[in-house]
Chain A
Amino acid sequence: NAGVTQTPKFQVLKTGQSMTLQCAQDMNHNSMYWYRQDPGMGLRLIYYSASEGTTDKGEVPNGYNVSRLNKREFSLRLESAAPSQTSVYFCASTRTQIETQYFGPGTRLLVL
């Protein structure tokens, strides 16, 4: 039982490059979330998926897209990376929208 897994752990991109961050959970959770963590700002919600087949914007969605591939997997795509997207990205999941969220280990992204 791995919980929430994220790949890659670390990535360096050049401005304008694209990439997809992968997230998977094996807890049969319905809701999944993507956050970014910047120094001194806590975690901010980028996108979330309340259930399979639905996605919604969070607090800071600009420059990102998401796909809820199936119940287990929720990916985050940067179409044209910018230095302002340098951050640590966390995926989280929860059984229902009002229960405790459990987080993956994070992906450190550096955009040059």
Chain B
Amino acid sequence: GAVVSQHPSWVICKSGTSVKIECRSLDFQATTMFWYRQFPKQSLMLMATSNEGSKATYEQGVEKDKFLINHASLTLSTLTVTSAHPEDSSFYICSANRDLSTDTQYFGPGTRLTVL
């Protein structure tokens, strides 16, 4: 149990286009999902916390108009990178708290975004 999927696993896009990444909890309800960004050989940087049915909470320094987050259901959160630029290229990872638990996070496999 506690499986989180992400789609796509990798994506290449042209500069200026928008890219949507999906995060799904496959066998549990996720009231809260988290979006992280990871640069090569670095730790995870929390971008935002996504709560079902409400606006996401963004970390300081993260542009909410550029990284749009929608948590429309208890099993799906999406991250849309708008007007992508090469510096947005990164590994994006989502995670979810299972049911109402707030301790353990379950991570998706990540999405590799490359912006040309």
Q: Judge: A and B partners, yes or no.
A: no
Q: A: which residues have CB within 8 A of B? A: none
Q: B: which residues have CB within 8 A of A? A: none
